[in-house]
Structure 1
Amino acid sequence: MNHGTRWLGPLQVSPLGLGCMGMSTAYGRPDEASSKATLERALERGVTLFDTADMYGHGANEELLGRHLSGVREQIVLATKTGILSLPGLGLPIGLDASPARIARAADASLRRLRTEVIDLYYLHRVDPRVPIEESIGAMAELVRAGKVRALGVSEVTADELRRAHAVHPIAAAQLEWSLFSRDPEHSVVPTAHELGIGVVAYSPLGRGMLTGSPAATTRLSLLDYRRLLPRWNRSNLAENLRQADLVRQIADEVGARPAQVALAWLLGHDPDAVPIPGTKHPGYLDENLAALDLTLTAEQRGRLDRLRAAGDRYRSGPGAPSRPQSAQRAGQPQTGTRSRH
């Protein structure tokens, strides 16, 4: 892969990263052999940003990356997150704790699981409403000063929270759910990140697989698939969302590409500095996603895609869900935001 690089604060990364959550939890039964092959293929193709969190599989995803990436540690940028408590075994969110004491303990545990001496990019996974963001970021800044972390990030914050965090310690990256089906970040958080010189990392850029239209990601979810719990997969919303996703397929047919490539090309064209991190545990899908870097959409095609609007909220309320929208909703605009590819 040779399509330039992006900067997340002091960290230079590939234009597409790899979201690793689905290798261990949320999207069906884990398959370590396939995940290992995907990680190896990503390294072969020049992917350098690998994204995980301590809650993914209740630490299992960090352990997976530690087993298979420790030998190439100097070649990659390793990002992990903390702040969401998870259920042992399943890794489902059960609460938030972004207190300074818990952050310090969590960082040490992540370092052990990842088999590394330093985390390149350490995110506050969610803002804990019981803890001022200044206190959480202050604790994370202590980790930077101790040499355990190179750069800090935040996930699912408002523009005001992003400014407050950045005032405590330079924030390298803001991670946001951003896709054709999740547009709220464009209104406030992304412009604020650009203003402050903060990199933007887009997670679930394929709408958790919804934008691919694949039955395996929409109508034929496994019994272990987390998406069964999400509003956009409710029967009342699914038919409309598949109708919307069909437009992505139509444009893919026009340009001789796959729907995933169209969805990624739209995002890459919308913000050339953003770093999407589509997730997969299959090498073939990884190659397919990387091909989006060579795809250019016409202004007319982009205009049609811009009109897409997902039916249903991104999350149910509860631990791990954003406590409020990333930005104020535009008047009259439907709420947006929420394959083993996501």
Structure 2
Amino acid sequence: MKLTDLSQGLTRIGLGCMNLSHAYGTPPSEEEGIKMLQQAFDLGVRHFDTAALYGFGRNETLVGKALSGNRDQLFLASKCGMTGVDGKRVIDGRPETLVATLDAALERLQTDHIDLYYLHRWDKNVPIEDSVGALSRLVEAGKIGAIGLSEVSADTIAKAHAVHPIAAVQTEYSLWTRNAELAVLGACESLGIAFVAFSPLARGFLADGVASPEVLEEGDIRRNMPRFKEPNFSSNAELLASFKFKAAELNITPAQLSLAWLLAKSPNIYPIPGTRYFSHLEENMAAANVSLSAAVIAELDALINQSTVSGGRYPPATQAEIDTEEFA
């Protein structure tokens, strides 16, 4: 199955699986995670996105346990190049590391191939051509169906694509994170590459899921993100109030308005919101049926954008690791 096979109906919205195992405070139990994944499949989700990093392998294991019985009906995506080593996050794009990471992922996912395998981060100590070259040999071996990149610039995409066709680029994209509009969206369109939008609900903020910074648990990555710290949070909350008013005016939820805005931007965009709750999953999937007028889209563009949002999306150390273009 190809990502473009999911271009119609509810299936265009996938499921980001990270928060079932990683980075957002205490994860649900394995039993609850498996139930969530199976409910997503039953609801029509076919695009499931995981990574070796998430839970340091636990998320791939969870996805394998929950969905291996339906493997032939899934578009399964995972990532390499950023893993857990001795309890710490490590970026390593050396060919031998990518091969070893894939072999472990196949075992955890209970499959003999992964439909889309991303380089999670470009290891700036390794030429992108070397990392993509290693992945291309895994395509030839039948272990992965297609190659993806995550959090890279248009220049890096072009260099990688010259080595082997890149099927998808994944990066953060929502009303409050517009970096992809600088060059990556255009590069994807011109090269025929699908664009996968992670954190399309602004890490829960645009779904009205974060009442205040104080509600975030220890271990929640948002606690260290500038936009979730004061005084930025209060400034952004003022934007959210207007956004919620517009959603109510349209008789939809803020989450649905966020996703509908993304879907309206281009048929080449595939959002992968994450959630732990079936009610939120149903809400997110229903966004595929929402149609926004050009006037509403323009109003949202003016309300929440790189000039009106307060704070960077990552702390400086994390920002230095990624390759995406940044607004001045």
Indicate if the aligned counterparts of 1:83 and 1:97 stay in contact, CA closer than 8 A: yes
Amino acid at match of 1:155: S
The separation in 2 between residues aligned to 1:230 and 1:68, in whole angstroms, is: 31
Of 138, 141, 153, which aligns to 2:136? 141
Structure 1 runs of 4+ aligned residues shifted over 4 Å read: 216-219
- Cα shift at 1:224: 3.0
Give the drift of 1:295. Answer: 1.2
Match of 1:132 in 2: 127
Residue number in structure 2 paired with 1:86:
84
Contact 1:171–1:198 (CA under 8 A) maintained in structure 2: yes
1:271 offset after TM fit, Å? 1.4
Alignment-derived partner of residue 311 in structure 2:
312
* TM-score (norm: length of structure 1): 0.89
User: What does 1:1-342 align with in structure 2 at a 5 Å threshold?
Assistant: 8=3, 12=6, 14-31=11-28, 32-86=30-84, 93=89, 95-215=90-210, 218-307=213-302, 308-309=304-305, 310-318=309-317, 321=319, 323=321, 326-327=324-325, 329=327
CA distance in 1, matches of 2:81, 2:18: 16
Is the 1:144–1:151 contact (alpha carbons within 8 Å) kept by the matching residues of 2? yes
Q: Distance in 1 between matches of 2:76 and 2:99?
A: 18
Relative to 1, partners in 2 of residues 1:261 and 1:219: Cα closer, same or farther, differing over 3 Å? farther
Q: What's the CA shift for 1:322?
A: 5.6
**1:336 counterpart residue number:** none
1:223 Cα shift? 2.3
SS for the counterpart of 1:147 is: coil
Q: If the length of structure 2 is used for normalisation, what is the TM-score? A: 0.92
| Residues in 2 aligned to 1:196 and 1:279: alpha-carbon distance in whole angstroms | 28
For each residue in 1:282-337, what CA deviation from the matched residue of structure 2 results, as whole angstroms up to 9, or x when unmatched? 11100000111111223232222102132111111335x4635622536xxxxxxx
- AA aligned opposite 1:98: G
Shift of 1:219: 4.6
Q: Extract unaligned runs of 5+ from structure 1.
A: 1-5, 331-342
- Asked if the contact 2:2/2:115 (under 8 Å) is kept, the reply is no
In the alignment, is the contact (CA less than 8 A) between 2:189 and 2:268 conserved in 1? no
CA distance in 2, matches of 1:222, 1:43: 29
**Which whole-Å deviations, capped at 9, do the CAs of 1:13-54 have from their partners, x for residues lacking one?**
621000000000111211133322221221112111000010
The one-letter code of the counterpart of 1:229 is: N
1:123 and 1:153 in contact (8 A); partners too: yes
Higher helix share: 2
Whether the 8 Å contact between 2:204 and 2:210 is mirrored in structure 1 is no
**What are the Cα deviations for residues 211-246 of structure 1, in whole angstroms up to 9, with x where unaligned?**
122236755112232211111111121101111122
Q: 1:54 to 1:324 in 2, by over 3 A?
A: closer
User: How many residues get paired?
Assistant: 320
- Structure 1 vs Structure 2: percent identity of aligned residues? 43
Cα distance in 1 between the residues matched to 2:291 and 2:275: 23
CA offsets, 1:75-115, max 9 Å, x none?
101100011132556xx63x310000101111101111111
Letter aligned with residue 165 of structure 1: A
Where 1:208 maps in the other structure, the secondary structure is coil
User: How far did 1:281 drift?
Assistant: 1.4
Q: Give the RMSD, CA atoms, in angstroms.
A: 1.9
Q: In the alignment, residue 317 of structure 2 is paired with which amino acid?
A: G
The 1:197–1:114 alpha-carbon spacing in structure 2 relative to 1, beyond 3 Å, is same
Stretches of structure 2 lacking an aligned partner (at least 5 in a row):
none
CA offsets 1:250-279 (integer angstroms, 9 cap, x no match) = 111101111000000111111122100000
Deviates more, 1:140-149 or 1:299-308: 299-308
Say which SS state the counterpart of residue 180 (structure 1) adopts: coil
Tell me the amino acid that sits aligned with residue 206 of structure 1. L
Assess, with a 3 A threshold, how the Cα gap between structure 1 residues 218 and 45 changes in structure 2: closer, same or farther: farther
**Shift of the alpha carbon at 1:188?**
0.5
Query: Can you list the C-alpha shifts for 1:50-86, whole angstroms capped at 9, x where unaligned?
Result: 0001000100100100111111100101100011132
Letter in 1 for 2:15: L
